[in-house]
Amino acid sequence: MSSGFTIEEPRSVDEALTLLAQGDETVRAIAGGTGLSLLMKYGFFEPATLVSLRHLRSSLADIEVTPDGGVRLGAMATLRDLEDAPIVAERLPLLRQALGRLATVRLRNAAQLGGAIAHGHPQMDTPPVLLALDAQVQVASIRGARTIAAQDMFLGYYETAVEDDELILEVRIPPQGEHRATYRKITARAEDDWPMLGIAALVATDGGRISRARVALGALTDRPMRLPDVESALQGSDPGSDEVEAIARDAAAALDLYDKPAASAAYQRHIVAVHLRRALLEILDLGDGSSKGGR
Amino acid sequence: MPKEQVGRSVPRVESEAKVTGTVEYIHNFELPGMLHAKLARSIVPHARITGIDVSAALAVPGVRRVITAEDVATVTAVDYMGPAFLDQPVLAIDKVHFVGEPVACVIADTPRAAAEAAELVVIDYEELPAVFDEVEAAGPDAPVVHDRVEAAASFADLKGLGDVRDTNVALHYKLRRGDAEAALEDAAHVFEHTFRSTPNVHATMEPFVAVGEIGDRGDITVHAAMQNPSIMQVELARLFDIPENKIRMRTAFLGGGFGAKLYVKLEPLAAVCAMLMRRPVRIALTMEEQFVTLTRHGSTITLRTGVDADGRILARACDVTWNTGAYADIGPRVAQKSGFTAAGPYDIEHVSIDSKCVYTNMPPAGAYRGFGIPQLSWAYECQADLIARELGIDPLDFRDRNALRNGRPHATGTTMQGIATEVVLASLREQMGWDTELEDRGEGTIKRGRGVGFGLKAVITPSTSVATVTLSGDGSVQVACGTTDMGQASVSAYAQIVAEVLGLQTEDVVVHHPDTRFTTYDMGTLGSRSLWHNGNALIQASNEVRAELLASASDQLGVDVDELELSGGGVVAKDGTRRSLAEIMLGRFGMQAGNIIGRGEYTPTYDKPDPETGQSDNVAAFWMVGACGVEVSVDTESGKTTIDRLVVIGDSGRPINPDIVRAQFSGAAIMQIGMARTEELLHEQGQLTTTGLAYYKVPGILDVPRDLESVVVDLPLDGDAPFGAKGVGETGSFAVAPAVANAIHDAVGARVTTLPMTDERIWAAINDASADRSAG
């Protein structure tokens, strides 16, 4: 239990970056606070200083289409802002779908995109979605700005590629073109829970064949993961139900899983095989995925 | 203005204050100069305390004092408390018995300083062997949790308890009716199954909280979120050896109780802290601490049931073991009073029950909505379906055939009356459309099924309620009694009862929260007893006020009392003359002044059961019957299961407030979805690993069945039933988990035997069943 901390409320990004550049890992940025407050409550994190970003929202919460047809998401857009944004609904339905079952409306009203990345907890819904969308995360520090690909972002339990002095400013999603995608969230107990498994799957087709495939899993291990073998098996192919089933089964068999209080490794593996198959069947229009071979 | 007060769905009188955030909860209560306390708790399940070093804690700025059992002893007259056994110290004395047991208490200027310092208290332990499983703990070679405990003898219904030495079995309750063993020998079919249930936490939104303060006459006040202020008053008077009139226990609306906020919790500690500091001291637990304060009992139940060729249950032998944790709390009453219904809501000639309350090195277990019935029904209602299936009898027909009815003897020997078993079962049949096949059996990997269950509970008997009703000079009425409104709407229901007798509007009657400085004795807000017991006391008290009012009016109007009625907020004579209550009071006292005070008390009749056989002609003031039917969808491939529909049915007698009764039934049923499907306390060597709501999943709105129906069987009762009503707070809790298990079995032909029935366990059961089928 911390005996206290100070809160700084910078008025500009530069000011915030200066505050974060003290070389002290107990100085942390806070936005919605839905993740950090839990860590503080359990005594896992005892801040000396919290840098509140509340005054920076006006400049960091934009949601807009970029000239190349991609989407730029301000790091301080709340998850509810994203869920409600017509741009997201139109261009990133995968993200919108995932947000619809992420925690509760009250939490989505507070939680913000940057925090949902920086928190680095493995059991979150947004990371596999960002992986499937090839998201690029723009960060800045007084040392300069850089871009981190979503797939290089998540390094382990509460660990990300964002350095202590860096702040996430925005997320860029490249143009997705015509595509079909789905997010499946599986919880182990109550419906409203962190995922036991999150599957983000996306395919673009060209002339009857899959021209681009992205499949990412969340919540299984200490970080979200792309499934390159699944993606390459799909790429350039026109699979039928049996092939999809085999792809999903092989992918599940190859995973390195461990028993958890909420689910055994065997059940997690089984659930990956079932839901990965169903997710792929759904986006490949091979049935609604809830029964073998479609119905 | 509607004439009827009782029987009308009056909106809860406190609703507006609750939704606008103006209701008082003790959690928000502050006093000038108040200090804050936090506990240093045991991190081992069983150990001798060899040393406590408080120096680092004392060095934290803002810390005033760190107290241990030694300091407690300077102000207390006795060391141990507890409703059944004297096994609970204010702070651990010499030994700790579970992970989370309070050992030291830091008192500081702020909660933050107290919490920081509590983590710096260094406690040295010499660890002892520990036992966690109730069956193991009851065995001969188990480590003994308490070397010796004395029986408390506080309650009339627990008078038979003896001191316990060299065993973990705190109470072994026995019931013998007929000759179960001989009948089992002779039965055409004998079924034996063992069922286990795991503990649950109440997870009240308002955690435990108490504020102690010392008055100028050495009197002690404790403001606390508690369900039984009168019992706490008695307990504290004994602890400090001072008279009850110097102990004031006050409470307000509770943010949930469900049985958690009964008996010794924080109140003694808050009082001790206030005495030592001579300043008000607040102690408030976190949600996480709630998890080591009290749970529902885990249990292991073996049922051996003999059935004849026609599907009639002839005999049942029940072996029930309750895991009461390290303090018995009210566990012995669970073992006894719910234990005697272990054979279920059935008419069985030969019954034998052994119900053991067993100490372990787990957190204490006590009352939890349903008081043992949900665990028992998990056994007897799962077994009912297993028997019916085996014999090829429809599960509901099997229940109908064997159900206990009015006029028939219960296993205790008491002749049943006032239970609506047939109507409840008939309603279940109708609501579930049971006589036609389930229309939608699912398709693809989805299989659908339906299941039912029902249960029977006896109200804790005997117990006492005393109430007063006071009329003021302006004609307004206030009610003082000992019931805590923890969400069950007693404040509304009591106002309806008093208003009915006095011819007033419900909304005009004020019902006070318990404050033992002026509210009267009540055994506790528990076990669905309040409406019946305090209802009777209130009717009597209101009738006394009524009689005095009419006598005064008779004098003033020169009209015979028989010619007068109380109606519409006044006295009305047969000739149409009307006087307001204020006018009658003015006539009596000569100005707007004075009071008329009515008093009522109620203790039901009771025939103490034979200690060896449990037989009694009159074991309970009333009985409750509750049923549940569900339809589920199971994805056979993933195990993913949804309760699509839940019907909860209970007998209420004549409902005082029908909407509130319906909400009680559905609320209780939804709460039990947690036991059935989502809530699990995992622990490693007595250390809970699913502490807090992040890891212990209470059902949320998305887990509530899409179709939820709450059916009130409202046959008015006679006898002592107040306005024909009986208690309803637990009825909806009786049989949810077994109904779900039975529906899953119906859907996929697989039996889940472990609670909670998670998707993974359902998946595993489906796999096991299909492996059995291919092996067979």
Sorted by sequence, the CB contacts under 8 Å of residue A86 that are 6+ apart come out as none
* pLDDT, tens only, B522-565: 999 999 999 999 999 999 999 999 999 999 999 999 999 999 99
Nearest CA to CA, how far is B76 from chain A (Å)? 32
pLDDT at B693 over 60: yes
- Whether residues B702 and A192 touch (CB distance < 8 A) is answered with yes
Task: For chain B, give the percent of residues with pLDDT over 70.
Answer: 99
Inter-chain touch A189–B678, beta carbons under 8 Å: yes
Q: Which of these, B325, B398, B399, lies nearest to B364 by C-alpha position?
A: B325
Give the pLDDT band (50/70/90) at residue A1: very low
Nearest CA-CA distance, residue B304 and chain A, Å: 32
Predicted confidence at residue B163, as pLDDT, reads: 87
Q: Which residue of B has its CA nearest to A290?
A: B445
What are the b/e assignments for B256-284, b being 16+ CB within 10 Å?
A: ebbbbbbbbbbbbbbbbbbbbbebbbbbb
Q: List Cβ neighbours of B245 (8 Å cut-off, separation of 6 or more).
A: none
The residues facing B630 across adjacent strands are: B451, B646
pLDDT tens digits for range B156-207? 888 778 888 899 999 999 999 999 999 999 999 999 999 999 999 999 999 9
Task: Verify whether the Cβ–Cβ distance A189 to B758 is below 8 Å.
Answer: yes
The answer to whether B702 contacts A191, with C-beta atoms less than 8 Å apart, is: yes
Q: Which domain holds residue A265?
A: 180-283
Pairwise CB contact (< 8 Å): B638 & A4: no
- Categorize the per-residue pLDDT at A4 as very low, low, confident or very high, splitting at 50, 70 and 90: confident
- How many separate helices (H) and strands (E) can be counted in chain B? 19, 35
CA–CA separation, B753 and B378 (whole Å): 9
Structural domain count, chain A: 3
Residue A249 lies in a domain: yes
What does the pLDDT read at residue B534?
A: 98
State which residue of chain B sits closest to A294, comparing Cα positions: B444
**Tell me, what DSSP letter sits at residue A260?**
B
Judge whether B269 and B283 are in contact, CB under 8 Å: yes
Paired with A40 in beta bridges are none
Q: A14, A31, A53 — which closes off a domain?
A: A53
Contact between A117 and A137 (Cβ < 8 Å)? yes
Interface of A with B in 147-206 (CB under 8 A): 186, 188-193
CA distance linking residue A251 with residue B615, whole number of Å: 64
Contacts for A163 with CB less than 8 Å, ≥ 6 apart: A139, A141
The pLDDT score that the predictor gives to residue B691 is 87
The reply to whether A19 and A89 lie within a common domain is no
Q: Are A113 and A100 in contact (CB under 8 A)?
A: no
Which segments within B574-688 are labelled E, that is strand? 578-580, 595-602, 623-635, 641-651, 683-684, 687-688
Q: Is residue A247 part of a domain?
A: yes
Sign of CA dihedral B383, B388, B389, B394: negative
Cβ-contact B255, B209 below 8 angstroms: no
A12 touches chain B (CB under 8 A): no
Both A91 and A190 in a single domain?
no
pLDDT at B774: 86
A291 part of a folded domain = no
Among the three residues A152, A173, A194, which one is the final residue of a domain in this structure?
A: A173
Indicate whether A66 pLDDT > 70. yes
At A31, which CATH number? 3.30.43.10
User: Which residues lie below 8 Å from residue A82, measured CB to CB, with a gap of 6+?
Assistant: A63, A73, A88, A95, A96, A99, A113
A275 touches chain B (CB under 8 A): yes
**Residue pairs between chains A and B whose CB atoms are closer than 8 Å:** 70
Q: Do A190 and B697 touch (CB under 8 A)?
A: yes
CB contact under 8 A, A190 and B682: no
Residues 638..697 of B with a Cβ closer than 8 Å to A: which?
A: 638-640, 677-680, 682, 689-690, 694-695, 697
Q: Which residue in B443, B689, B760 is closest to A295 by CB distance? A: B443
Asked if A70 and A120 sit in the same domain, the reply is yes
Q: Domain boundaries in chain B?
A: 35-128+202-290, 295-461+609-775, 463-602
Cα→Cα distances B3→B505, B568, B580, B715, Å: 8, 7, 16, 21
Asked if the Cβ–Cβ distance from B445 to A291 is below 8 Å, we say yes
CB contact under 8 A, A188 and B638: no
- Cβ B638–A275 below 8 Å, yes or no? yes
Rounded CA gap, B327 and B361, in Å?
A: 9
Q: Using CA atoms, how far apart are residues B680 and B196, in angstroms rounded to an integer? A: 13
On the question of pLDDT at B686 being above 70, the answer is yes
Quick one: closest CA in A to B62, which residue?
Answer: A3
Structural contact between residues B568 and B1, judged by C-beta atoms closer than 8 angstroms: yes
Are residues A209 and A256 located together in one domain of the fold? yes
In this complex, which of B444, B678, B682 lies closest to A190 when CB atoms are compared? B678
Place of tokens 């469900």: B258
User: Which residue from A minimizes the CA distance to B693?
Assistant: A193
The CATH number of whichever domain residue A218 belongs to comes to 3.30.390.50
Q: Average pLDDT, stretch A91-117?
A: 97
Amino acid in position B111: P
For chain A, give the percent of residues with pLDDT over 70: 96
Residue of B nearest to A194 (CA): B694
C-alpha neighbours within 13 Å on the C-beta side of residue A247: 26
Whether B116 sits inside 8 A of A191 (CB atoms) is no
Q: Which residue of A has its CA nearest to B764?
A: A267
Whether residue B655 contacts residue B101, with contact meaning beta carbons closer than 8 Å, is answered with no
CA distance B545 to B600: 10
Q: Is some CB atom of chain A closer than 8 A to the CB atom of B113?
A: yes
Residue B53 pLDDT grade (very low, low, confident, very high; cuts 50, 70, 90)? very high
- A interface mutation test: which of B443, B760, B767, B768 has the most A CBs within 10 A? B760
**Would you say residue A288 lies in a domain?**
no
| pLDDT confidence band for A293 (50 / 70 / 90) | very low
Alpha-carbon gap, residue B222 to A161, rounded angstroms: 52
Nearest CA in chain A to B112: A3
Determine which of B448, B643, B697 to mutate to test the interface with A (most A C-beta atoms within 10 Å). B697
Pick the CATH number of B295-461+609-775 from 1.20.120.160, 3.30.499.10, 3.30.565.10, 3.30.365.10: 3.30.365.10
Q: Which of A37-51, B65-79, B276-290, B341-355 has the lowest mean pLDDT?
A: A37-51
Nearest to A192 among B444, B695, B700 (CB): B700
> Where are the extended beta strands (E) located within A174-223?
180-186, 197-206, 209-218
Do both A262 and A230 map to the same domain? yes
The token duo for A164 is 């202590």
pLDDT over 60 (residue A295): no
**Residue B225 main-chain phi, psi, to 5 deg:** -80, 100
Chain A nearest CA to B464, separation (Å):
40
Residue B439: Cβ-neighbour burial (10 angstroms; 0-12, 13-18, 19+): exposed
- Same domain (yes/no): A31, A84: no
Instruction: Determine whether the interchain pair A1/B119 forms a contact, defined as Cβ–Cβ distance below 8 Å.
Output: yes
A258 touches B at CB < 8 Å: no
Which of A1, A121, A193, A199 should be substituted to probe chain B, the one whose Cβ sees the most B Cβ atoms within 10 Å? A1
Per CB-CB distance under 8 Å, the chain B contacts of A291 are 443-446, 637
One fold for B35-128+202-290 and B463-602: no
A2 CA: distance to closest CA in chain B (Å):
7
What pLDDT sits at residue A288? Answer: 59
Lowest mean pLDDT among A34-48, A84-98, B577-591, B752-766: A34-48
Confidence of residue A3 (pLDDT cuts 50, 70, 90): low
Report chain A's C-alpha Rg in angstroms: 20
Whether residue B698 and residue A190 make contact (CB cut-off 8 A), yes or no, is yes
- Residues of chain A with Cβ-Cβ distance to B701 below 8 Å are 192
Cβ–Cβ below 8 Å for A290 and B444: yes
Best to test chain B binding among A119, A187, A189, A290 (most B CBs inside 10 Å) = A189
Does domain B463-602 match CATH 3.30.365.10?
A: yes
- In chain A, what residues touch B635 (CB-CB under 8 Å)? 290
- Cβ distance of A190 and B699 shorter than 8 Å: yes
Assigned superfamily of B35-128+202-290: Aldehyde oxidase/xanthine dehydrogenase, a/b hammerhead (3.90.1170.50)
List, for residues B415-471, the tens digit of each pLDDT value: 999 999 999 999 999 999 999 999 999 999 999 999 999 999 999 999 999 999 999
Contact assignment for B702 to A3 by CB distance below 8 Å: no
pLDDT of amino acid B156: 80
CA distance B90 to B278: 18
Alpha carbon separation from B568 to A111, A171, B565, B594, B702 (Å, rounded): 55, 69, 10, 22, 45
The verdict on a CB contact (< 8 Å) between B446 and A290 is yes
Residues with Cβ within 8 Å of residue B277, at least 6 apart in sequence: B35, B64, B65, B107
**Residue A156 maps to which CATH number?**
3.30.465.10
Position A292 in a domain: no
